[in-house]
Structure 1
Amino acid sequence: MLKAYAVENLRPGMVVGRDVMDGDMNVLIGQGINLTLELIYSLLDRPIFSVYIEEEDEAVDIPGKEFLLDDAYTSCYDTVYRKLKLMFENLAERGEFDAAALQDIMDEKNFRELCDGAKAVSQIHNMAREGSYLINHCLHVGILAGLMGKWLNLSILDQYNLVIAGLFIDIGKMRISSEILEKKGRLTEAEFDVIKKHTQFGHDMIGMTTLSANRDIMDGVLQHHERCDGSGYPNGLPRAQISRFGRILAILDIYDAMAGDRIFAKRRSPFDVFAILYDDILNGKLDTEYGVLFIKNLCHALNGNWVQLSNGERGRIVYIDESRVNSLPVVQTTKGEFIDLNATRQVKIESILTAAEVSA
């Protein structure tokens, strides 16, 4: 059987099950080659997220959460979370902004650790969202923004600015009462009108800081709920008037909001979210280029993650056909059985399991 491994999880001696190719379709490592340390290191410098390895069919053991969570990653995440929370509180409650504190958050080590390709995707799905939903959501969007910046081959400065815009995407909600933000029932029209003001609130709040001179960041925060068909808010802008950052962040915001647990709604399967995003792309609401790129790359990075299936079983994603944007994965259950979710529509992925859920 073939099993996809994130590049950072490859080990010498593994047998390559499918040709590893670069973006120009040149074969870097051929099928059947035994991996060496040198070959593995050569892949780490390339935009390659996973490699298919040939393995014997066998039942799959569910590992403990210590094998799913990366200590260095979670430690870095927790540190940045605390600093971002303090920054939000200082800005919202006292109008204070510490540019040095933001620089500390955006330190190259943090940026490199948190936006580390497939590992970043697996870690933000494997970690339970403890603490403030708002801060976790903004941090997740910032991480996804870092990934998108790399997938788009943006300059380092643009990647840096896109991450900052992602981190501040919902800071305007600090000015909205918790009664509305945490309401479990359906929002009234008046309450939703208040919620929609968060984009302008956020724009105004960072407009009082040194970030005000950065048009990309300001527009990204203001426009992440605009839609390319003019149906978004706050200004109902058409695609031509929505900034690049606004169009990118719209996609990342939707994905993380739906794929993670919220106060008023349980998280969805990433593949259900991909279907929603793809519908919005086809209907002209979301940017086609950015949307398709995000779905294909994130889908690729989900290989190897543990999932809960609708039939009550658990399994691990082992293969995804990357030639189709709306392709569903092949899952290997803990019994060693393979389920092709493209052919077995009565079984669905309900959610990506966190490390705590896998080990429970």
Structure 2
Amino acid sequence: MEFKDYDDLVGKHLKQNITDVRGVLLIAKGTLLLPEHIDKLKKFNIHILDVESALEVNEVDEETNDKIHTHNQDNINQPRIHFPCIPTKELIQQTESYLKGMKDSLDLTGTVDIEEVEDKLTSVIMDTSNSASLFRLLSELKGTRDFRYTHNMGVAFIATKLGKQLRLDEQELKTLTTAATLYDIGSTKLPSDLVNKTSRFNANEYEIMKQHTIWGHDMLKNSMASPRVALVALEHHEREDGSGYPHRLKGDQIDPLSKIVAIADIYMAMISPRPYREAHPFFNVVHMIHEEIMDNRLESQIGLTFLESLMASQLGCEVLLSDGRQGKIVLVDRNYPTRPLIALDNQDFLDLTKTTTITVKEIIG
């Protein structure tokens, strides 16, 4: 059943916990949704589709209606408690182990068992992305030993979550998850000294590195992957303005799934340390991705949806402003995700969309 409005959720029971993007429990499973619960879902920007997937959809009887309309409003402010640990580490370890085994198989046969990938990886990643926040997943990914697998899994999780936020249908979401799991498979053919290099590529090395998109496309075609899965491997470095590679495609020439994976790939690259640089701070990453969107290198709807979800996760966080003042993020404008509304320590509000001279310098808590 598809709900058109949050208010349609009133009277439904939850069969799963609802958490915010940081994994903090908002509403426990088994709860009968009342108007104050709907207010909380809106406040924390919980997408209506995420709530739908957690529902036991039953008809509301007369007794339930009475309970909804007479419920004591004093119970609105429930204490925030931490969501109990879910087995994300175990799922991540399984995924990492399978990816390593898949690479060994590739070295022998040059192909991938697509059905096995969908059975062993796609379903696991979709389940994990449903049950854990992005930031918890990324935190636990730091425990993996090889940055290539960390990066690959992070991209798959991010792309899947973004696909849900963009309201892809179930089949397209499954295709996206499979594509995001295999998008960088061509890099397995890169020379090891290039993969493990501790400094930036020179011009010749960069040209060799770019070939991984073509190699990945060919490997997936030979593996009988769906055309769109193979296309994402080919196109994930293409950009809206035609500045990408390997074919300098523009705009609608690029598959939408490739654009989603591109955003996830860029984000993971920026937040991850490399031998030649440290990881970029969170707010710098948001700002840089926003600049890429404004410069028409990344698709705006996909990019702004992603940044909006990232910034929504920072609501209530303390920030240091460029003029030395401190405050808390209380509202984010999806069109200006790097310029939120700030509640200053002196109780005043500062709308950063109204000024060009003050910016958020750092998120401090």
Q: TM-score, normalised by structure 2?
A: 0.69
- Inter-CA distance 260–116: structure 2 relative to 1 (3 Å threshold): farther
Residue 211 of structure 2 corresponds to 197
Pick from 306, 309, 322 the counterpart of residue 297 of structure 1.
309
- Counterpart CA distance in 2 for 1:345 and 1:88 is 48
2:258 is aligned with 1:252: no
Pick from 10, 15, 23 the counterpart of residue 26 of structure 2.
10
For structure 1, list consecutive stretches of 5 or more residues without a partner in the other structure.
13-18, 21-26, 32-39, 57-66, 333-338, 353-360
Report if aligned partners of 2:155, 2:268 keep a CA contact under 8 Å in 1. Answer: yes
Counterpart AA for 2:308 = K
RMSD: 4.2
- Inter-CA distance 340–290: structure 2 relative to 1 (3 Å threshold): same
Residue 64 of structure 2 corresponds to none
Residue 16 of structure 1 corresponds to none
- Counterpart CA distance in 1 for 2:210 and 2:84 is 35
- Counterpart CA distance in 1 for 2:316 and 2:192 is 37
Residue 126 of structure 2 corresponds to 111
Residue 39 of structure 2 corresponds to 29
Residue 184 of structure 1 corresponds to 198
The 3-state SS of whatever aligns with 1:10 is: strand
Counterpart AA for 2:208 = V
Residue 120 of structure 1 corresponds to 134
Matches within 5 A, 1:157-168: 157-168=171-182
Report if aligned partners of 1:259, 1:273 keep a CA contact under 8 Å in 2. Answer: yes
For structure 2, list consecutive stretches of 5 or more residues without a partner in the other structure.
1-18, 29-34, 55-75, 344-348
Report if aligned partners of 1:219, 1:246 keep a CA contact under 8 Å in 2. Answer: yes
Residue 86 of structure 1 corresponds to 101
Report if aligned partners of 1:220, 1:243 keep a CA contact under 8 Å in 2. Answer: yes
2:189 is aligned with 1:175: yes
Residue 116 of structure 2 corresponds to 101
Counterpart AA for 1:97 = V
Matches within 5 A, 1:187-266: 187-211=201-225, 214-266=226-278
- Counterpart CA distance in 2 for 1:264 and 1:111 is 33
The 3-state SS of whatever aligns with 2:183 is: coil
The 3-state SS of whatever aligns with 2:38 is: strand
Matches within 5 A, 1:275-314: 275-302=287-314
2:173 is aligned with 1:143: no
Greater relative CO, 1 or 2 (CA 8 Å, sep 6+)? 1
The 3-state SS of whatever aligns with 2:171 is: helix
Percentage identity across paired residues of the two chains? 24
Residue 358 of structure 1 corresponds to none
Question: How many residues get paired?
Answer: 306
Q: TM-score, normalised by structure 1?
A: 0.70
